[in-house]
Amino acid sequence: MLVFAVETSCDETSVCIMDSSKRIYSHIIFSQEIHKIHGGVVPELASRAHLEILQKITTQAFKDARKSFDDIDVFAATCGPGLIGPLLIGSTFAKSLAIGADKPFVPINHIESHVLSTTFNNKLEYPHLCLLLTGGHTEMYLLDSQHKMSLIGETLDDALGETFDKVGKLLGLNYPGGPEVEKKALNGNEKAFDLPTPLLNVKNLDFSFSGLKTAVSKIVKDNDLSNDLIANLSASFQLCISKILLKKIQNAQKKLESEFRKIKSLSVVGGVSNNKYITNKIKELFKNTSVKVFFPTKEMRNDNAAMIAWNCVNKNIKSSKNLSFKPNPRLTI
Ligand code: KG4
Ligand code: ZN
């Protein structure tokens, strides 16, 4: 089965041609630069940029893959959650190609695709705990199998990627702030600032990051934004985030153990899983334990169409057309 997949839920325009034996014939990710000058994603500009680039990268993807539309068995696209304009553009584009080629269209859930991204390069062991850390979502899922996942914790306010981006903006760094904060933190003293750790001592599995962002903003207001301050604040922020994540993982482990469901593996997925400081802390936590820790391949960490194609491959849907499926900005699993 050969799949053509489209991802346009936010500010990455991406297409992928993949077959059911995991062979990637082509995969293109176009990161929209236009948002950098605004310090965040502007939905209307994202929609326009998707519209401008989608056809070009699709032509390129078919050329790279040496395939034609007739070779494709299934057309897939992200149908939520995400920004409605971008979702409409990507899904309508893929639906139109499906109609033209008289092949099925499969609507794909973006979050489910992030959660399943590590199954592309690993054999997960269940029960499995997945920490989903993106720009729009911060959630914890328990998986009993690839097809059975339940939400067990989530952020009550900002997502972690969004918090990194906001802190980056406060420190005068480029958008997206996540990778920039990570770089600056390398030269900083993580003990320089004692930042708050909201919900740390609450036994539940939910997160809250908005207070942390406010604390950073207060320090920035009260001090000169020197290179030392940027480095120290970035490092202290990352230490604080890692404390919160490790504690919530341990809370989840304890809760599940009390229900006789000891986790056998854990994954961290989404854009924030690029952060080496955070992933090393999580790896350390499970060093010398039987719990295996997994991360997506580099090309499946940020938004990408390969994870959409892979999710579609696993659904193994060949007949249904789903053309009436409406993109939903708040689509849940
Ligand atoms: O998964 P993703 O590409 O998009 C969404 O589905 O939202 O995640 C994007 C987020 C951005 O907020 C970005 O700052 C963050 O991932 N990110 C990072 C790093 N690389 C990307 N956050 C912290 N450290 C990084 N190295
Ligand atoms: Zn995403």
- State yes or no: pLDDT of 5 exceeds 90: yes
Ligand 2 mean position to 115 CA, how many Å?
10
For residue 318, what pLDDT band results from cuts at 50, 70 and 90?
Answer: low
46 lines ligand 1 (CB under 6 A): no
Q: Which atom of ligand 1 is nearest to the CA of 137?
A: 7
* Sign (positive or negative) of CA dihedral 187, 192, 198, 199: positive
Could you give the percent of the chain with pLDDT greater than 70?
A: 98
Average pLDDT, the chain: 96
97 CA distance to ligand 2 middle (Å): 24
Rounded to an integer, the average pLDDT of 213-237 is 97
pLDDT at residue 316 above 70? no
For ligand 1, mutation pick of 302, 304, 311, 331 (most atoms within 8 Å of CB): 302
- The pLDDT-based confidence of 55 (bands split at 50, 70, 90) is very high
Name the E strands within the chain: 2-7, 12-19, 24-31, 74-80, 105-109, 128-133, 138-145, 148-154, 265-269, 292-294
- Out of 111, 164, 180, mutate this one to test ligand 1's pocket (max ligand atoms within 8 Å of CB): namely 164
Q: What angle do CA 319, 320, 325 make, to 5 degrees?
A: 155
Q: How far is ligand 2, taken at its centre, from the CA of residue 223, in Å?
A: 34
How large is the average pLDDT for residues 160-184? 97
Instruction: Find the mean pLDDT for residues 67-82.
Output: 97
Alpha-helical segments (H) within 66-142: 84-101, 110-115
Q: Which pLDDT belongs to residue 159?
A: 97
Structure tokens at 230: 């940027």
| Residue 39 confidence (pLDDT) | 86
Going by alpha carbons, the residue nearest to atom 21 of ligand 1 is 271
Q: Is 158 a pocket residue for ligand 1 (Cβ < 6 Å)?
A: no
Q: What is the mean pLDDT of residues 108-112?
A: 98
Q: Give distance in angstroms: CA of 274 to centre of ligand 1.
A: 7
Across 46-50, 95-99, 275-279, 312-316, least confident range:
312-316
End-to-end, the C-alpha distance of the chain in Å comes to: 24
161 lines ligand 1 (CB under 6 A): yes
pLDDT at 202: 82
Q: Tell me what pLDDT residue 321 has.
A: 64
* Model pLDDT, residue 198: 80
Task: Return the pLDDT at 115.
Answer: 98
**pLDDT band, residue 317 (cuts 50/70/90):** confident
Ligand nearest to the CA of 182: 1
Distance from Cα 68 to the centre of ligand 1, integer Å: 33
Ligand 1 atom showing the smallest separation from residue 161 Cα: 12
By 3-state DSSP, what share of the chain in percent is helix, strand and coil, each rounded to 5? 45, 20, 35
Cα 306 to ligand 2 centre (Å): 12
Tokens encoding 185: 């933190």
Closest listed residue to residue 219, CA positions, set 239, 203, 234: 234
Residue 176, ligand 1, Cβ within 6 A: yes
- Nearest-CA residue for atom 7 of ligand 1: 135
Average pLDDT over residues 295-321: 90
Q: In the chain, what percentage of residues exceed pLDDT 90?
A: 93
Which residue in the block uniquely carries the two structure tokens 């020197």?
Answer: 226
**Chain segment 261-290, per-residue pLDDT in tens:** 999 999 999 999 999 999 999 999 999 999
